[in-house]
Amino acid sequence: MKKIVFMFPGQGSQAVGMGQSFYHSNDEIKQIFTEADDLLDLPLSDIMLNGPQEALTATDIAQPALVLLSSAIDQLLKAEGIKPHAVLGHSLGEYSALVSSGVLSRNDALRLVRTRGQLMKDADPEGKGGMAAVLGLDETTIQSVIDEDKKQVEVANLNCPGQIVISGVKADIDALIAPLKAKGAKRVLPLDVSGPFHSSFMRPVATAFKKVLDDATFHTPGPTVYANVTAAPIQSVSAIKQRLEEQLYHKVRFEESITALIDEGVDAFVEVGNKKVLSGLVKKINRRQTIFAIEDTESFTTFIDWYREGGE
């Protein structure tokens, strides 16, 4: 049997129209979307399908939107008999991965990320925080620039060789652009997120969110779940809850997670959700990997056909 890894995207992958090909062609997906609207008492599916983008980008909307679409596509994949060898998510996508692995129900995950998003939004009500991708520098060089300039900025995501995300005060991020470029950065790109995520600014959020996690129902994972914080499998419910709390203010170690999975002899990486962000990262980590990105019915069919034909 093929070793398949499901990858689930995080914030920044939201876009108006996400999931529309599934929604308009599959009654099961339409029902899942409707149930999510009712659960959250929120016109989530309408915002996903019709916008506006500004509303969808708000972290308390983007988080449940991304988990809803990813978990719905995951359900369709499972209905085709496809069981992943392992799952992982990027940041928020870790919640979709936990749904896929049976740790959380979709409804519990949606409630959690809705609350998570609200807490994160409240942590930066004036929108002074942000994130940016630094292209072309390694972590050590980026950290040295941050330390030299004494800015309120931290390394947040280790995505792939030559792409590292920083997080902190927007004005300080802007002030670092010139010194980062002077050290060799090709570009410094602001991300479409609404806060300084995966930084110490989120520690108060983690403290508040811990109480929410403690009250939620978690189960032992089925397929292996790789944690963002450790870039290693997590097995116990207590460890999963701890990692989800830490994830709010710790680095996302995506590149290390992918490298570890490649070492396990994985046959294909399958991105489950909107856009192809993670697929692009995996290509930069190791171009020899077989990669699929399932964001619409066409790409879903392409992957299913490959899988049915033996994955050649």
CA distances from 9 to 70, 127, 155, 272 (A): 8, 23, 19, 7
Degrees, nearest 5: CA angle 301-101-121: 95
Please tell me the predicted confidence (pLDDT) of residue 39: 98
Contact 276, 294 (CB under 8 A): no
Cite the active site residues. 91, 198
| Domains of the chain listed by start with CATH number | 4-124+200-308 (3.40.366.10), 129-190 (3.30.70.250)
> CA neighbours within 13 Å on the CB side: how many for 294?
27
Can you tell me whether residue 163 is helix, strand or coil? strand
Given CA atoms 311, 68, 214, 210 in this order, what sign does their dihedral have? positive
Contact 4, 291 (CB under 8 A): no
User: Hey, which bits of the chain come out as E strands?
Assistant: 4-8, 86-89, 129-135, 153-160, 163-169, 187-190, 224-226, 233-234, 268-272, 291-294
Mean pLDDT for all residues in the chain: 96
State which residues of the chain have pLDDT below 70: 311-312
Please tell me the predicted confidence (pLDDT) of residue 264: 96
Closest listed residue to residue 105, CA positions, set 135, 68, 145, 139: 68
Name residues whose C-beta falls within 8 Å of residue 174's C-beta, 6 or more positions apart in sequence. Answer: none
Please tell me the predicted confidence (pLDDT) of residue 192: 78
Please tell me the predicted confidence (pLDDT) of residue 310: 82
- pLDDT tens figures, 175-204: 999 999 999 999 999 987 878 999 999 999
